[in-house]
Structure 1
Amino acid sequence: MKYADWLGLAATIAAVALLWSLRDVLVLIFAALVLAMALCTLVGSIQRRLEISRPLALALALLLLLLLAVVLATVVLPPFMAQFTQLLGQLPEAGQAILAILRSWLSQGSQMIYGRSDGGWSWLQQSLPINGDGGAALASGLGTGALRLLGLAAGNVGGGLVKLLFVVAVSLMITVQPLAYREVAILLLPSFYRRRGRQVLELCGKALSNWMVGVLISSCLVALLSGFGLMLLGVKLVVANALLAGLLNIIPNVGPTMSTVFPMAVAVLESPWKALAVLVLYMVVQHLESYVITPSVMQAQLQLLPGLTLCAQFLFTVLFGPLGLLLALPMAVCLQVIMREAVIRDLLDPWKRQRLGP
């Protein structure tokens, strides 16, 4: 290799190392881009429906979001926080109830198979916690995980607020002049690919808009169905559990599983069979969401394979933490568009035609 080649390789390695060291900032910038895309979608919808200028549509959108935030803060948030705190307080007792039920089932199963309650499954019974530590550990794990996922960890409230302000500020700046920022990104591409790169970015924006609208509708319907079903079953803390089901529905695979744990923990304190009924209810709701709601509201969204979605969630969580888990699906949506358009259609397909010849 020549000196110029070694210099280029060193520059590439240094650039990769720099990007890796700034990965936390980059994921915040991507979060700002996702939020800006949501705002641009809302502004564009208002502009088309009312046939007004973009600045006026932006002002109306911000006013609408402000009114929505006030309503949520005054009407929805207080009962949710009160019930969520009560829910976290009931988790240790629910954990102990679950452990007691497991011990009882193991004893009955051992009695049926071995003829005595301390048969071949005694080692499994002895491995279960006996005192309150098991329920406390379960409560601590679920509570800490939920709070970290929501970005409300007590020890990092100040840092979380700073990050939130940064994301909101950058997203508002991009929303005011989206085309100018898009052209800045286009200038980073080689001149021969800028026209095509503009098309790819537009497709990424369209895919993100479709995904966000679909997820919003889907999450609202999941929250309503879950709340209605919990009311019919007579489960307590309906508001907290229904809102958690809607919020966690944004995270595929992991979110619906986490949302099922909380109402089952409340129901198991009343009756084990009610907990099983809650499990059946949430399975029905998730099947409706997967096979009826999502196909109906996301017809224009590109389909992501479940295995690829799970791999993306695992990879982005390892790289970026809880925020990476929240942003895994929009990242996967953008990456799939880029791979399909830039790699497959623009690189691999022409190369294949050249190899095959006329």
Structure 2
Amino acid sequence: MRFGQWLGLLGLTSALVLLWNLRQSLMFLFAAVVLAMALCTLVGWVRERLGCRRPLAVVLSLLLVLLVVTVIGTAVIPPFVEQFAELIGKLPAAAETLLNLLRQAMASASRMLYGRSDGTLEWLRQGLVSGDSPANLREGLLRLLGLAGGVGSGLLQLLFVVAVALMVTAQPEAYREAAVLLVPSFYRRRFRRVLIQCGDALSGWMVGVLISSLCVGILAAIGLSLLGVKLVAANAVLAALLNIIPNVGPTLSTVFPMSVALLESPLKAVAVLVLYVAVQNLESYVITPSVMHHQLKLLPGLTLTAQLLFTVLFGPLGLLLALPLAVCLQVMVREVLIHDILDPWKRHAETS
């Protein structure tokens, strides 16, 4: 290799190392882009309905978002926080009840097989109900300071995401053209179309997820009310929010209502499990295909692989953004790798 080639390889390696070290910041930037696409979708809807110019549509969209956030903050969040705190308080008792049921079942099985019971799962019960409290006041203060620092850092990151999203929403074409300039000149026109397709795919995915999450929350609320399970509002909101994270989210949302139902009756907990399985199957096979039949479809295996891969690479934020990342990557792979690189090779091989 010549000196220039070695220099180029060194530059490429350095760029990859730099991107890897900045991966968390890049994930926050991508989160801002996803939020901006959601706002741009709303702006487009307002412009289509009112026929107004974009600056006015942006202002009206932000006012609409502010109104919705205010209504949710005053009407939904206070009872949700109260019920969620009560729900968290019930989890230890539900875990103890479940453990007692397991111990009884294991003891019955042991008596049937061996004619005696040997204290099955006693070590597990002791591990769950025992715990070390803070050794002293100094340790407690250090934990409190660490929690405050984490909350402050999270608020700053959220402020960064919102600020960048608002800037992109105000001038999406300018930021898109800035991204286009990063590729070679001969490919810029094609890359611009690919970015537009990524934006359309993200918008369609977000609309579909919003509709399916609302349906899941409503169905969960109706089903839990009919079963007589307490804390319906908190569990319904959790089901709607966690539905955004496929595979993992619905499983987590089932734990909380089953814990509450388990305190009343094991049969009611089983009924809640059956309800959530039915709701999730209805969402997966009826609701989502109905609202996304014209949008980008993600294969279940691709979804699960993306969640695992991005969680390992980027942590909890990667799990939250796994689906929008997978949406963009699927468009990129289809349009750039397959259509622009592999297909020309295939045509060249056939003609040669």
TM exceeding 0.5? yes
Describe the shift of the 1:93–1:39 C-alpha distance in structure 2 as closer, same or farther (beyond 3 A).
Answer: same
Where in structure 2 are the equivalents of 1:186-225 lying within 5 Å?
186-225=180-219
- Deviation readout 1:284-339 (Å, 9 max, x if unpaired): 00000001100011112222111111111111111111111110000000000000
- Tell me what 2:139 maps to: none
C-alpha distance in 1 between matches for 2:158 and 2:100: 42
Q: Are 2:62 and 1:62 equivalent residues in the alignment?
A: yes
1:127 positional shift: 6.3
Letter in 2 for 1:338: M
1:219 positional shift: 0.3
Q: Are 2:347 and 1:353 equivalent residues in the alignment?
A: yes
Letter in 1 for 2:288: T
Where in structure 2 are the equivalents of 1:266-305 lying within 5 Å?
266-305=260-299
Letter in 2 for 1:110: S
1:117 positional shift: 4.2
Where in structure 2 are the equivalents of 1:1-358 lying within 5 Å?
1-112=1-112, 114=113, 116-118=115-117, 125-126=120-121, 128-131=123-126, 133-134=127-128, 156-357=150-351
Letter in 2 for 1:69: V
Calculate the TM-score normalised by the size of structure 2.
0.93
Contact 1:94 1:266 in 2 (8 A): yes
Letter in 1 for 2:108: Q
Describe the shift of the 1:96–1:299 C-alpha distance in structure 2 as closer, same or farther (beyond 3 A).
Answer: same
Equivalent residues, number = 337
Letter in 1 for 2:115: R
- Deviation readout 1:206-262 (Å, 9 max, x if unpaired): 100000000000001100100111111111111111000000000000000000000
Describe the shift of the 1:291–1:213 C-alpha distance in structure 2 as closer, same or farther (beyond 3 A).
Answer: same
C-alpha distance in 2 between matches for 1:357 and 1:236: 69
C-alpha distance in 1 between matches for 2:171 and 2:128: 54
Moved more, 301-310 or 260-269: 301-310
Letter in 2 for 1:38: A
- Deviation readout 1:117-169 (Å, 9 max, x if unpaired): 43xxx58x2465233x41578xxxxxxxxxxxxxxx66511001000000000
Q: What SS does structure 2 have at the residue aligned with 1:130?
A: helix
Structure 2: segments with no counterpart, 5+ residues? 132-146
Q: Percent identity?
A: 62
Moved more, 301-310 or 50-59: 301-310
C-alpha distance in 2 between matches for 1:61 and 1:117: 69
C-alpha distance in 1 between matches for 2:130 and 2:123: 13
Contact 1:94 1:135 in 2 (8 A): no
Letter in 2 for 1:297: V
C-alpha distance in 2 between matches for 1:258 and 1:154: 26
Q: What SS does structure 2 have at the residue aligned with 1:129?
A: helix
Letter in 2 for 1:130: R
Calculate the TM-score normalised by the size of structure 1.
0.91
C-alpha distance in 1 between matches for 2:130 and 2:79: 25
C-alpha distance in 1 between matches for 2:8 and 2:278: 56
Contact 1:37 1:205 in 2 (8 A): yes
C-alpha distance in 2 between matches for 1:223 and 1:235: 15
Q: What SS does structure 1 have at the residue aligned with 2:125?
A: coil
